Structure formats: C-alpha cells, structure tokens
Structure 1
Amino acid sequence: MHLLNADLHSHSTASDGSLEPAELARRAREAGVALWSLTDHDELAGQAAARAAAEALGLAYVSGVEISVSFAGETVHILGFGFDPGHPELVQGLARLRAGRTERARRMGESLAAAGIPGAYEAACALAPNPELVSRTHFARFLVDSGHCASVGEVFGRYLKEGKPGYVPHDWARLGDALRWIHGAGGVAAIAHPARYRLSPTVEYALFSEFQAHGGRAVEVTCGSHFPDEVQRYADMAAEFGLLASRGSDFHAPGESRVPLGALPDLPARVTPVWSLWADTLAGHRPPRPGEPGRLPRAAAAAAAGALAG
C-alpha cells in the first residue's frame, strides 16, 4: 500500500496551474500514477473534466480541493478528498473565498504599481481563468514574462512574500469552517505541505491539535516542497496525532514545479496512507507502468475509478 504511486495534490487551469485537467490526467497516467486527485485552490470547476479524463484512462480518481485558511496570522492550506463536488455548503463556502481573492488581487496590483510595476493586476487577470481566481502565482508569471524576474521563485522572494512590495495579507476561511465544508460533503481533510508555514513549534502543535479536534484525518507527509528531514518530521507528527499520511507533488506547471506529477519518493513505511480508506477499490486496480499507453478495459476502469466517486 505504501508503494502505490498516488499523487493527491495538483493544480489545473481552473485555478493557478498551466495545464487543462485532461492533460494532467494524461501526464499522471504516463508517469505511472495509480491514484490521482486534482486539488485546485478554492475551486471545483475542474473536477468533472478531471474525473472523466481519469476514467477514460483507467486511472483511479478521487475528488480534491485545496482550501485557503487563516490560522495564527498565517495562510494554511487544507486539502479535501473524496467529497461530493456539488454539496451546497462546500460550493457556497468556496464561492465566498473566491470573492475575497478579487479584492486582494486589486490591492496587490496597486502595491506593485507603487513599486514601479504598473499593469500587474490586469496582466494577472489575463492569465487567470477568471478574476475570482487570480493568485500570487499569476502575478509571478507576469513578472517573469515581463522580464522583472528570472523565475517564479525569485518573484516570491523579491515581491510577494510578507514584507515585500507586492504582499497583501488576507483573511481566508477559519479552520473549523473549512473542515466542516469538507466533512459535510462526505470528504476527508488533510493539512497540506506543513513545512511551508512559518509557525513556531508551539503554534504548529496548536494547528495539529485544532485540526484533529475538528475531525481532520490526514497530513501531507511526502510532497513537492518537503525535504527528506521534513518528510521524517511529519511522519512523526502523523504518528503523534494519529493522522493518516498523504502524498502529492503540488504540481502546477512544467518547468515551474519542483517535482513532476508522480515523481515523489514513497511514504515512510511507518505511516498509514490516506488511500488506505479506499483499499477495497485499489485492491483490484493494477497500477499503470510508466509510459504505458492506452486504457484499461471498461470494467477495470469502473472498478478503479467509479467506487472512488465523490
């Protein structure tokens, strides 16, 4: 079960990724991914296309989302898996979050203009699927394309982190609200890439404690932004808090993401994978071999993907 090539964290053009959901599914299948989830930021618009493409390829699919949460003055991301994408409370909650993104983006554009970079808001909007989904990544791509920086990483370091000219704080969802939306829709919640947050050990412990108290089930242990020592640290945290372990590349775009789809190390052997919740479905699914073309027979695809519906 630990050796399953699961990639449960990726982004499409429905939020701040550069590829359509169907292209992500194809890349995941060719990379040997056996279980995939599209987890766009505060958005579910890509779910139907992602599931349809995965099913056509015989790729097991579980619905996903990455919800922005404010915790102790820091933006924290909570992943949701296996939920009903049409659940009203989840849909309405995410709509409110996206409305807040628009105002933040306008203020970021004003701040960058004051720093001598005019037109950033308009350019970022042109790169986003709609104004409600403009993110820092869209601003970063504009700054790279316009020659202000050589890479997205440089943009964040010079302009978009706290204390830099383009940084604008924002109040996202409360932790309890995000978990209530996910659980109400029948899903499972996980803390995304915990090593990325600038939290003291005391505040991080409080995050895990509150997450657990609200019924959170998992933490992303192996991911695109975790180094080997961090993987081991969060495997320990998973054990301490009785959480399942998730694995995801956080893939956004070719040449931009640190880890390609399906290219992560395995989870540590001592953790229990979050996909153990779907063991019955995965038991009958043969993982694809890297680069293998074509699709599994219709019955196999239905067994692998259909039982993960929701």
Structure 2
Amino acid sequence: MIDLHTHSTASDGTEPPAQVVASAVEAGLTTVALTDHDTTLGWTDASEAARRLGIALVPGIEVSCARGRRSVHLLAYLPDSTHPALVAELEQARDSRETRLDRMVDRMAADGLPVSVESVRAEVEEGATPGRPHIADALVRAGAVAHRDEAFAHLLSDRGPYYVGHYAPDPVRAVEVVRAAGGVPVVAHPLSVTRAGTVGDELLEEMVAAGMAGIEAHHRDHDPDAVRHLVDLAASLDVVVTGSSDYHGDGKQNRLGERTTTPEVLERIEALATGSEVVRP
C-alpha cells in the first residue's frame, strides 16, 4: 500500500519523522511520503528510518498557496531541496507564519483565552514550521478545548474571529517553482469543504497548464461526488490521480493507509522527477 500525504512534528503532525515511518510500517504500508508544510526538515530522519525499517519513502513537501482568499495546498514530490527558488519560497512562507502566529495569539489572549506566545512556541519543535495546530495544542494543554478539531471549529477557523493570513505563493507560481526544482506537483484535497474555499476546475486547469502532474482525488474530505468529478477531470487533463491519508498522528482522526495510491501512479511520479529519488531500503 502507498500513502503519499503525511505530516510529522517538522510541521503540524504529532509524531517525529522517524515515528511516522515506523507507524507506516505498523499500518502495513510499503511506501509512505513525508509531506510536511513548507519544509524538508524531516527528510533526513525519515530516510534513515525508512532504510532501517524496510519501507520506501517519498520525500515531499506540502506547499501552502493562495489565490485571493482561496487556500490551495500543493504536494511537491521528489524536488531538489536545495533549489534556490524553492528554498526562497519556503523560507518566506515560514517567516510569515511566525509573525502571523504571534498576531493570532495576541488577539486571543486579549479576549481572555488562556494562551500566550510562549505557550504556543513550546508546542513547536525546534526548526519546525509553525501553524494554527500549534495554537490548538496550547489551547488543549490549557484545558480551553478538548481536541484540535474543537479549536478549529470556531476559534481557529479561516472564518473565525482570530484568523490572520500569511504569505503564500500563487498556486501557478508554486507549480512552476516545484517543476524548476525537479519535483512533481500534485494538488492536495482540492474540493475539501473544511478549508477556505474549494479549488475550481478553471484554476486546476491553469495549474495543469503550468506543469501540475496530478490531483489528490481520494481523500476523506471528498465525498463520492467530489471523487468522481476529480477522477473524471484528471482523465480529461491527462494527469495522475492519487489517494492519501493526510496523516497527522493524534492531531487528526485520519488513519495511515485509509486512502492509497496505485504503484503505477507512483511509477509515473518517479519518472517525472529529476530533483531527488525515492528512498528504498
């Protein structure tokens, strides 16, 4: 089984990169991708664990993009992690997330919520990409909410009272940068209703014209009608269809391997990649 979308403590997952790989083995996967938000921090530890535990690892990134108020997430598989344009985009995104986090926390603290910049920083692993889930974890630790999902239902929602935006590249620009870095771009959960706006067909077509190679159709945030639509759209655009768990450890209910990708699709992704390679035992 192949799962091409997971997160570790390098961004907003709850398991260290090596433990994500170990959990993938326990779940019966043969291949797993580590796709932390806007960072390659976990690649080394995950690669070492994959070789040791006998599972293939696809190094990746989930690049946070936006067009207007519409949030778009782009999975970048097998890029060159040292490519200057990619490094610059990721650094700018992470720097913006840092300041955005502080502003959100200050707003919440001013309204009497039991959270501070210090308590949120304590939830972020050194060097990891900070994000709203870390605010949620601080709120859980303070007893203000029971789980991340409760925090995101209102307090941390894109439409909530404390939301602050952050820098994110236009999705077409992101596709071009990933391609330039030798990576293979695949849009993540484009019809998810839990995020700030779904990604319409017109934008997906524009991203494909720029070099996007696939659509993550099989995802728990997509109902059957959404899956059918995305599979048909992918066929018409001649791009691959992937399935993934979007695993975050205890941070989400998503289970490793609950949605999977076929070996033939992974082979096509590998054939398109020139930036890095699948790590095999």
TM score, norm. by length of structure 2: 0.88
Instruction: Could you tell me which runs of 5 or more consecutive residues in structure 2 were left unpaired when the two chains were aligned.
Output: none
SS of equivalent to 1:63: strand
1:62 aligned to 2:53?
no
Residues matched between the structures, number: 274
Change beyond 3 A, Cα 1:278–1:41: closer
8 Å CA contact retained: 1:218, 1:243: yes
TM score, norm. by length of structure 1:
0.81
C-alpha offsets along residues 117-157 of structure 1, whole Å, 9 cap, x if unaligned?
15333211110124772201111111122121222111111
Contact 1:224 1:258 in 2 (8 A): no
Please tell me whether residue 248 in structure 1 is matched to residue 244 in structure 2: yes
Q: Does 1:28 align with 2:24?
A: yes
Q: CA deviation at 1:31?
A: 1.1
Letter in 1 for 2:93: L
Q: Which residue of 2 aligns with 1:173?
A: 169
CA distance in 1, matches of 2:127, 2:51: 30
In 1, the alpha carbon distance for the partners of 2:94 and 2:88 equals 10
**In structure 2, what is the Cα distance between the partners aligned to 1:278 and 1:112?**
43
Task: Work out which of the two has the higher radius of gyration on C-alpha atoms and give 1 or 2.
Answer: 1
Q: Cα distance 1:207–1:279, how it changes in 2: closer, same or farther (>3 A)?
A: closer
Identity of aligned residues (%): 34
Residues 213-252 of structure 1: matches in 2 within 5 Å?
213-252=209-248
Unaligned 5+ residue runs, structure 1? 281-305
| Alpha-carbon distance in 1 for matches of 2:89, 2:279 | 21
1:10 corresponds in structure 2 to 6
Measured against aligned partners, the alpha-carbon deviations of 1:174-215 in whole angstroms (never above 9, x if no partner) come to 223322221122110011111224547xx6122202211210
The AA in structure 1 aligned to 2:112 is G
- Aligned-partner Cα distance in 1 for 2:249–2:154: 21
Counterpart-to-counterpart distance in 2, 1:240 and 1:273: 18
Q: CA deviation at 1:227?
A: 3.2
2:268 is aligned, of 263, 277, 280, to 277
Structure-2 separation of matches of 1:171 and 1:23: 30
Mapping 1:146-185, distance limit 5 Å: 146-185=142-181
| Structure 1 consecutive aligned stretches of length 4 or more whose deviation exceeds 6 Å | none
The secondary structure found in structure 1 opposite 2:34 is coil
- Per the alignment, residue 93 of structure 2 pairs with 97
